[in-house]
Chains A and B, each alone.
Chain A
Amino acid sequence: MKELKIDAKDMDYRELNEKIHEVLDENKDLEKLVLENVLGQRFIGNGVSRKDLTIIVNGVPGGDLGMFMKGPKVVVNGNADHAPGNTMDEGFVVIHGSSGDVTGHSMRGGKVYVQGNVGYRSGIHMKEYKYKFPVLVIGGAAKDFLGEYMAGGIILNFNMDKEDTENIEGRMIATGIHGGVIYIRGIVESSQLGIAADIKDFTEEDIEKITPYIEEFCAEFGYSNEIKEKLINSKYTKIAPISSRPFQKLYTPDLR
């Protein structure tokens, strides 16, 4: 496996990102790029279009990690700042820690897995198109406005520090949702939902649908079989749109 390393110590974000682009341009067969001493540099992986490449981030990346990215897998050994996976096209972002606000903003494909918690407005505006299907999996808790204006894809929120019989926190979940689906482990009251969102029955089919993501999540973060089984056999609240045209009735069709 071809592997290279960049030491990001004392590097400005532009310097680091340009260095990443240069290394990738010069090494078309590179499979693994390790970034050491990352400390707040933004936009890592931004616009990188490359399959079969893993970028290991040792440290804490700054905002917009993997924005517009197409293809690579990014593994963060640390927390991430706001908006990892922003408008991501394809690829896999794995965060061994927590991430900030708007995690997975407008994601249109690929996956973002966060072991810990995520901030406000996560999964906002995720959308899908045919084979493009974004996935956001959150191990811990999510703050308010999860999945607002969601137009496609799937959000899985495990709340692992709680039991599935407990009420979760979070308000205005899925306001304006008109596509996709959210599964939250634990109890969500309908008063916690925003306009256009609805609580649906959680069925066998749903369990089948989420099981592969649970398996992958546990494999990525090294959870035991016991925990995996517990997650699969938990109770989830399924949140989905009332309609794909939530605001249709807001405007008069009358001609003027």
Chain B
Amino acid sequence: MIPSTVPPKYKVFVDPERCMLCERCTTECSWGVYRRQGNKILTYPNRCGACLRCASLCPRDAITVTLNQSCGREHPVWTPEVKQDVVTQAKSGCILLSGMGNAKEYPIYFDKIVLDACQVTNPSIDPLREPMELRTYVGKKPEKLEFDYVEEEIDGKKVKKAKLKTKIAPNLKLDTPIMIGHMSYGALSLNSHKAMAKAVKECGTFMGTGEGGLHRDLYGYSDNIITQVASGRFGVNSEYLNKGAAIEIKIGQGAKPGIGGHLPGEKVSAEVSMTRMIPQGSDAISPAPHHDIYSIEDLAQLIRSLKEATRWKMPVFVKISAVHNVSAIANGIATSDADAVVIDGFKGGTGAAPKVFRDNVGIPIEVAIAAVDDRLREQGNRHKISIIASGGIRNSADVFKSIALGADAVYIGTAAMVAMGCTVCGRCYTGQCAWGIATQKPELVKRLEVDDAARRVANLIHAWTHEIQELLGAAGINSIESLRGNRDRLRGVGLSEIELNTLGIKQAGM
């Protein structure tokens, strides 16, 4: 093997004064950083990815993991990471893989947008006293309502009664505009899926299955599940399609726009193979395109075929990644019988992506939502389709800003994982997640306690929901409906004129 020529990224220190040699770190670390030798714990820091499982669980707080600063000359361009990547590729000649979302310092527009409260122009509302309507319906809305008037006799009198003539397309009913996006069983463990399913059920919202099929243990949650159909069609049959409340077609993903998915054979365990319906240990490949979709017309055909399979009882979403022509694509999707378009920004996470994609491809979600909402309104198509924003939603303010920019609802992914214990170490692609989240190894999976993790995720959604109510009250709005696309409630700070224009918001002070 060709040896590495860069020092480890992290420094792992075990304080001998504090350590009691319980050896817990040696079992907790799934990467093999620790080994006991005599009366000492030895460390192998080149294996460390700073997932911090060891430091969190050391009973004596003896472990510190720090960035290894002493690795050669400092250089603003040739940073340790850049050098490390070159060396790794020089060694292997292969594509670098990585997990989680974009790890580069691009501007986060959410942080350059402030919410504008109104004070007296639109007096504040007290959410503790007044009802705040967060109910969200995701799906097609009718352009107008039409009624039939029928005469009925009530107590001998003839009365005209109105009956709704317009047929309302099926919509998903959400108690909060926050859903959990699609992360497949296969990429994530079954315990993670169970925890998230419990949480969304409690919160009156939904989670996505991802493209890995639906494990039988989750059939009981079908009222809160959105099933996904990706190009690999893993686990897709009519039973699966009918086991959810909505279906999502995955065209693209924010973390890796334009490329397919690939679950390596090591992660295809017996249970995963059963759920995906492929042989154990073989690669699960979803190619970049759906091979029956080469145009918007073909997409419409797939949407309709899914509706046929479920007898037109469910909304069908289409997920695309945020890219420069996203508004034209979304407008096409709006005319193709889809009920919602999911736009996944470049900060979206993933189990595994080529690092070069994760860090360099795609555009921020903030501008994508604004552009899509604008275009759909211009074309008179906004009512035909809901917009779901995803990819880099970190807190309730991001949710609020997304909706004010034009989204109907959001998907969270990484935030839900962090709630369960993920430390965003970015090594999900190895299948060794020490927190039992992105792994299929039974001994690691059982580290994630389902009820506990479910409680945390549900708490997070509840907490954000309360905060959104407070924010609405401060803006003098009592329903999330009135916030949607209400960009007058937003102001930009430190943005150029062209950025403000693209986002469709005013400069602070205006």
Q: Which residues of A contact B (CB under 8 A)?
A: 14, 17-18, 21, 42-43, 46-47, 49, 63-64, 67-70, 82-83, 86-87, 89, 102, 105-106, 108, 121, 124-125, 127-129, 132, 148-149, 151-152, 176, 178-179, 244-256
User: Do most interface residues of chain A lie in helix, strand or loop, or is the interface mixed?
Assistant: loop
**What's the Cα separation between A17 and B304 when bound, in Å?**
12
The contact sample of 11 A-B pairs, CB cut-off 8 A, is A64-B292, A89-B237, A89-B238, A108-B277, A125-B231, A149-B287, A151-B279, A245-B265, A247-B285, A252-B95, A255-B31
CB-CB < 8 A to B301: which residues of A? Answer: 42, 63-64
Task: Tell me if B281 is interfacial: C-beta within 8 Å of chain A.
Answer: yes
Given A252-B95, A255-B47, CB of A125 within 8 Å of CB of B232: yes
Task: Determine whether the beta carbon of B241 is less than 8 Å from that of A68.
Answer: yes
CB-CB < 8 A to B239: which residues of A? Answer: 49
Q: Mark B284-310, 1 if CB is under 8 A from A, else 0.
A: 010100011000000001001100111
Task: Determine whether the beta carbon of B274 is less than 8 Å from that of A129.
Answer: yes
**Chain B interface residue count, Cβ-Cβ cutoff 8 angstroms:** 51
**What's the Cα separation between A175 and B35 when bound, in Å?**
45
Task: Determine whether the beta carbon of A252 is less than 8 Å from that of B96.
Answer: yes
Given A21-B311, A108-B277, A151-B285, CB of A255 within 8 Å of CB of B427: yes
Task: Determine whether the beta carbon of B291 is less than 8 Å from that of A125.
Answer: yes
Task: Determine whether the beta carbon of B279 is less than 8 Å from that of A152.
Answer: yes
**What's the Cα separation between A63 and B292 when bound, in Å?**
10
Task: Determine whether the beta carbon of B49 is less than 8 Å from that of A252.
Answer: no
**What's the Cα separation between A254 and B89 when bound, in Å?**
9
Point out which of A14, A127, A246, A248 has the most chain B C-beta atoms below 10 A from its C-beta.
Answer: A127
Within 8 A of A (CB), among B228-244: 231-233, 236-239, 241
Task: Determine whether the beta carbon of A151 is less than 8 Å from that of B309.
Answer: no
CB-CB < 8 A to B231: which residues of A? Answer: 125
Task: Determine whether the beta carbon of A179 is less than 8 Å from that of B279.
Answer: yes
Given A68-B241, A68-B309, A252-B96, CB of A176 within 8 Å of CB of B236: no
CB-CB < 8 A to A89: which residues of B? Answer: 237-238
Task: Determine whether the beta carbon of A129 is less than 8 Å from that of B310.
Answer: no
Given A127-B278, A252-B94, A255-B430, CB of A67 within 8 Å of CB of B305: yes
Task: Tell me if B283 is interfacial: C-beta within 8 Å of chain A.
Answer: yes
CB-CB < 8 A to A244: which residues of B? Answer: 265, 279, 281-283
Task: Determine whether the beta carbon of A252 is less than 8 Å from that of B97.
Answer: yes
CB within 8 A of A67: which of B31, B95, B97, B309?
B309
